Amino acid sequence: MISAPYTFCMPQKSSAPRRRAAMLAELSAVSRRYMAAYALFNQAVADRLRLHPTDLQCLNLLSLEAAPVTTGRIAELTGLTTGSATRLVDRLERAGYVTRARDTVDRRRVLVATVPGRMAEFGAVWEQLSGGWAAMFEAYDDDEVALLIAHMRRTVELSAVQIAGLRESGGGPE
């Protein structure tokens, strides 16, 4: 049974309140299983690449950036402190995934850039796994894919708000 802190509290939008409540309870349970499955998947991919899970996600985020970034930007992307982000970059540099170089425009800034060869290895692991994901998404029509995209965007936005709230409150129970 799902405990109260984990259930979704949303306004009723259905003429069948019991059915709606049951669906929201199921959504809560499925969401929790999804989050656990993703965390375990992330750990398995990180293990395969001999990386820490946070380092793996940092590489993922860096691959989405248009250009090299500062360690401060990495801190923003990951939600880490600048000190923790610096240690993360140290680990990625030792592993050969990133390099540091002075910004040619502002010599005070140090930019972190991914190493193409190592990122190709990183991409190859994702490529091995992408077939299953592509097949799963092929089962959805365009409207369903649009709904999934909207859901994922809203999830990213809400997660950022939730993370900030947890960090501001010290992360522990009040």
User: Which pLDDT value is given to residue 170?
Assistant: 72
User: Which pLDDT value is given to residue 22?
Assistant: 95
Question: Which residue, 57, 9, 7, 12, is CA-closest to 31?
Answer: 7
Distance CA 173, CA 141 (A): 42
> In which element (H, E) is residue 139 found?
none
Q: What is the pLDDT of residues 128-146, one digit of tens each?
A: 888 888 899 999 999 999 9
Task: Over range 99-126, report the average pLDDT.
Answer: 93
Share of residues in the chain with pLDDT > 90 (%): 71
Residue 6 has pLDDT above 80, yes or no: no
Mean pLDDT of all residues belonging to the chain: 89
Residue 20 has pLDDT above 50, yes or no: yes
Question: Which residue, 36, 64, 39, is CA-closest to 122?
Answer: 64
